[in-house]
Structure 1
Amino acid sequence: MKKTDVIIIGAGASGLMTAYTLAKAGKTVTVLEARNRIGGRINTVKENFSGPTELGAEFVHGDLPVTLNLLKEAGIDACDVGFEMWQSHNGTFKQSEEFVEGWDGFLEKLNKLQSDMPLLDFLEHNFSGARYDKMRSQIENYVAGYDTADFRDASAFALRNEWNHEDEDAQHRVDGGYGKMINYLANECRNAGNEIHTNTTAREVRWKANAVQVMAANGTIYEAGKVIVALPLGVLQAPDNAEGAITFNPPIEQQKQAIHNMGFGSVIKILLEFDEIFWEKETICANLSNMGFLFSDEAIPTYWTQSPAHSPLLTGWLGGPPAFAEKGTSDEAILQMAIASLANIFKTGQEQLQNKLIAWHVANWTAEPFTRGSYAYDKVKSPEARKVLLKPVATTIYFAGEYLYDGPAMGTVEAALTSGKNVAESILAKK
């Protein structure tokens, strides 16, 4: 087996960005990917649907420098996304971006918090009692839906930082899908003479200073001077005997504990393409022609369109603990949950909606063994855990991933790309 400078475990955005950056600098790399495809939580598909459809990451959430610069370098356009936010409650539609009753007062008190604590503890200390029941429920749903997080252990400081730096006015989609960016990174890596092996599950990392052997489930052994572990946090948190889990020999106990001090959310994404854009029909008692997002109280509560494009594709979203609770539910049952939710929202029959459906896909990322969730969120101990994981083990074992990013774009492709780029540059700086 050919020995390379660096082995990268995981061919998602972070792993491929690491490989791309190292390859550009003349380093040799081998990328190992357990799935039968590259991209990780980016998965742009064309089968069944009328156009490129994102089963995973979809938006560029803001004017994010690493993502937009990479797209520009690759010659891939990103289009601005403008849309209206609507809410459907008790049978009525309302255009509104206010999700939490008493939000300003809540955020004002949160900004005065001196010591970090789980968000639930903050709410119980400051907004207890029946008169705040609705607000607490709305905040819980917001944290679950947007951050895919559990407010029982999510860091109040981290959420405060996110909410104070939201850039909702700048939203983009990648023309043709994020898969084009992934293919660009992979092709650049291969064109430099490097290999990306799919269907190759790394099971064990045997290491000593500046010497690594990675044992794959198929029995192949890969050797390098260094290894970069670019797996999703959910996989790193999995038990040693779980599918996709990886062990280290000798063990790295400090890093293992740090991994478990970070939060990883849950999500199920439902793609639904209909034979017409039924939500724009005049029979609906609201003008939804520019609707981007729709929020409701249904079992599948959140939907979005392809606005500003007028497309018959609706995307359903279930995040946080409610998604985890449905981890073992069949795709067909989740589809029926979505159909029932839409039927309730739009006051129509489930059978009628089902007959209008021409393509669908349930992306249950929480049940997917090589992902095991959505994206990271901070717990109270996460900042210290991140410091541990950002330090290489004997300049030999490195970690990369969106969970290691510390900034307002947490949980995004930008976070993954930034982490991968930073790890590669730290290795290159130690010549």
Structure 2
Amino acid sequence: MKNKILIIGAGAAGLMAARTLSKSGKQVTVLEARNRLGGRIHTLSDESFFKVTELGAEFIHGDLPVTLNLLNEAGIGYHNANAEMWRYENGAFKENSMVIEDWDLLLKKLNGLEQDTNVWNFIEKEFPGDKYTWLRNSVWSYVSGYDTADPRNASAFALRNEWQHEEMDAQHRIDGGYCSIISYLATECKANSGEIFLNAVVQEIEWKKGNVKVTTDDGSVYEAGQLLIATPLGVLQAAKGETGAIVFTPEIPKYAKAIQQMGFGAVIKLLFEFDTAFWLDRQSHEMADINVDKMGYLFSDEEIPTWWTQAPDHSTVLTGWIGGPAAADKTNTPNTEILEQGLQSLANIFKISFEEMKGKLIAYRIMNWTADPFTRGSYAYDTIEAPVARKILNIPVENTLFFAGEYLYDGTAMGTVEAALTSGLEVAKKMLK
């Protein structure tokens, strides 16, 4: 029992910890609720459509040390995914138009802010009236789209920090997809006698110092000396009785409160494969009046506002993205309806009829991460209370219960796989002490 460790969740954080602990001689058992590994990493690779296309995490945003070291160690390659950012508004395409008017003034006023508040309160107070309508709309779109956060809940201090340290670093995609990292970590864990069980939905954790008993929905019981909880924050925030929700016996009220104080975003991702890359045809060139070949990201005010290509790789796949409150509002929207909203959004942008657009579509996949019971959202963002809550959750409960995940990372790569891997590595080191 002394050497035995249980881990709940086989995403990046859980598997990074499992691999580190098992290599150090610990007896590790990982319980995963899904029928696959990876959590919010979900590469479609062995299907007739969407060859190596990501339903979940997709990019390495910059030269991130833990991710790149792991790739180098595993001998997994990665390639450039830099592409131009365009905008479609008022019937026209605008090349490289990510500059937001009054941005410098916004940062200047943010720098003068002495007490944290939610970013939407700040914006409405400091930038009222018609003059700043565009700025307010841009901030709302950016915070909900990029951070997948609710601007009415997101910390102005945290966003100030993010925006000031934002480097338009190199973007990378992983050869073979993000699942290559997951497979590597799982193989390493198993090579060191680690066990991984799928379809193991944890319902209850009974614990006392130095002893943990975990019960899954099929009545199986697992025991260990220590437990690492590496589920998404959204699952920990689930109400008692909901699918995937976990009951602690005895309760851990201070930790439960901290979990509820953190922000967890909402997102829906759409993958559309077409018979041709119609956005590169002559009509699109003429319409844009410029070279659309380099268009990587396209932002708009459509129902599904954000789209990207696989540029610089040539592909007939378009990825759609909607985050924040607008995605949360669609938690219970059927995929068939989201499919139609996506097609209509593209039809409006490229001035093609809905029926013609639908006729070009040969395959689609929609991942409503917020509706998924074992994720319940996208990734974490900071609320005003989050820094204190994070400190609490990074302290083990009686050296018996530990938490890991991207929401516990405190650095500039928030909400990324890098954040999850870093958290998993750090908590494993803590457990080995």
Please classify the TM superposition score into its range, dividing by the shorter chain length.
over 0.9
Letter of the structure 2 residue corresponding to residue 265 of structure 1:
G
> Which residue is 1:8 aligned to?
7
Contact conserved, 1:87 with 1:96, CA < 8 A, in 2?
yes
> Which residue is 2:360 aligned to?
356
1:304 equivalent among 288, 308, 328: 308
Q: CA deviation at 1:242?
A: 0.5
> Which residue is 2:379 aligned to?
375
Question: Partner of 1:214: helix, strand, or coil?
Answer: strand
* 2:77 counterpart of 1:77: yes
> Which residue is 1:127 aligned to?
127
Structure 1 CA distance for aligned equivalents of residues 14 and 94 of structure 2: 42
Contact conserved, 1:102 with 1:135, CA < 8 A, in 2?
yes
Letter of the structure 2 residue corresponding to residue 60 of structure 1:
I
Contact conserved, 1:235 with 1:372, CA < 8 A, in 2?
yes
Structure 1 CA distance for aligned equivalents of residues 345 and 66 of structure 2: 37
Letter of the structure 2 residue corresponding to residue 149 of structure 1:
A
1:225-304 matches, cutoff 5 A: 225-284=225-284, 285-286=287-288, 287-304=291-308
1:168-179 matches, cutoff 5 A: 168-179=168-179
Letter of the structure 2 residue corresponding to residue 8 of structure 1:
I
Structure 1 CA distance for aligned equivalents of residues 259 and 319 of structure 2: 31
Structure 1 CA distance for aligned equivalents of residues 73 and 311 of structure 2: 26
Structure 1 CA distance for aligned equivalents of residues 141 and 66 of structure 2: 30
> Which residue is 1:150 aligned to?
150
Structure 1 CA distance for aligned equivalents of residues 293 and 14 of structure 2: 39
Question: Partner of 1:289: helix, strand, or coil?
Answer: helix
> Which residue is 1:38 aligned to?
37
Structure 2 CA distance for aligned equivalents of residues 218 and 311 of structure 1: 43
Name whichever of 281-290 and 191-200 sits farther off. 281-290
C-alpha change, 1:304 and 1:71, in structure 2 (3 Å) is same
**What is the RMSD of the two structures over their aligned residues, measured on CA atoms?**
1.1
Letter of the structure 1 residue corresponding to residue 388 of structure 2:
E
Structure 2 CA distance for aligned equivalents of residues 218 and 75 of structure 1: 39
Structure 1 unmatched ranges of 5 or more:
none
Contact conserved, 1:227 with 1:396, CA < 8 A, in 2?
yes
Structure 2 CA distance for aligned equivalents of residues 141 and 205 of structure 1: 40
Q: CA deviation at 1:249?
A: 0.6
- CA-to-aligned-CA distance 1:15-41 (integer Å, 9 cap, x gap): 000101111111111000000111000
Q: CA deviation at 1:91?
A: 0.8
Structure 1 CA distance for aligned equivalents of residues 133 and 85 of structure 2: 24
Question: Partner of 1:407: helix, strand, or coil?
Answer: coil
Structure 1 CA distance for aligned equivalents of residues 48 and 251 of structure 2: 45
2:320 equivalent among 306, 312, 316: 316
Structure 2 CA distance for aligned equivalents of residues 164 and 176 of structure 1: 33
> Which residue is 1:29 aligned to?
28
Contact conserved, 2:266 with 2:369, CA < 8 A, in 1?
yes
Q: CA deviation at 1:99?
A: 5.0
Contact conserved, 1:3 with 1:222, CA < 8 A, in 2?
no
Q: CA deviation at 1:112?
A: 2.1
Question: Partner of 2:150: helix, strand, or coil?
Answer: coil
> Which residue is 2:347 aligned to?
343
Name whichever of 340-349 and 74-83 sits farther off. 74-83
Structure 2 CA distance for aligned equivalents of residues 50 and 336 of structure 1: 19
Structure 2 CA distance for aligned equivalents of residues 218 and 274 of structure 1: 42
Question: Partner of 1:293: helix, strand, or coil?
Answer: strand
* 2:183 counterpart of 1:186: no
Sequence identity (%): 56
Q: TM-score, normalised by structure 2?
A: 0.97
Q: TM-score, normalised by structure 1?
A: 0.98
- CA-to-aligned-CA distance 1:49-108 (integer Å, 9 cap, x gap): 241110000000110000010011111001112211110001100012425321111112
Question: Partner of 2:292: helix, strand, or coil?
Answer: coil
> Which residue is 2:217 aligned to?
217
> Which residue is 1:396 aligned to?
400
Contact conserved, 1:4 with 1:223, CA < 8 A, in 2?
no
Structure 2 CA distance for aligned equivalents of residues 214 and 48 of structure 1: 39
> Which residue is 1:109 aligned to?
109
C-alpha change, 1:49 and 1:167, in structure 2 (3 Å) is farther
Letter of the structure 2 residue corresponding to residue 36 of structure 1:
N
Structure 2 CA distance for aligned equivalents of residues 384 and 405 of structure 1: 13
- CA-to-aligned-CA distance 1:161-199 (integer Å, 9 cap, x gap): 111111223110001100011011001101111110000
Q: CA deviation at 1:134?
A: 2.0
Letter of the structure 1 residue corresponding to residue 358 of structure 2:
Q
C-alpha change, 1:428 and 1:143, in structure 2 (3 Å) is same
Q: CA deviation at 1:355?
A: 1.0
Letter of the structure 2 residue corresponding to residue 332 of structure 1:
T
Q: CA deviation at 1:129?
A: 2.1
Q: CA deviation at 1:126?
A: 1.2
**Corresponding pairs, count:** 428
Letter of the structure 2 residue corresponding to residue 134 of structure 1:
W
Q: CA deviation at 1:125?
A: 2.4
Structure 2 CA distance for aligned equivalents of residues 79 and 322 of structure 1: 32
Q: CA deviation at 1:359?
A: 1.2
Structure 2 CA distance for aligned equivalents of residues 357 and 210 of structure 1: 55
Structure 2 CA distance for aligned equivalents of residues 28 and 167 of structure 1: 41
Structure 2 unmatched ranges of 5 or more:
none
Question: Partner of 1:283: helix, strand, or coil?
Answer: helix
Contact conserved, 2:87 with 2:98, CA < 8 A, in 1?
no
Name whichever of 163-172 and 86-95 sits farther off. 163-172
Letter of the structure 1 residue corresponding to residue 79 of structure 2:
C
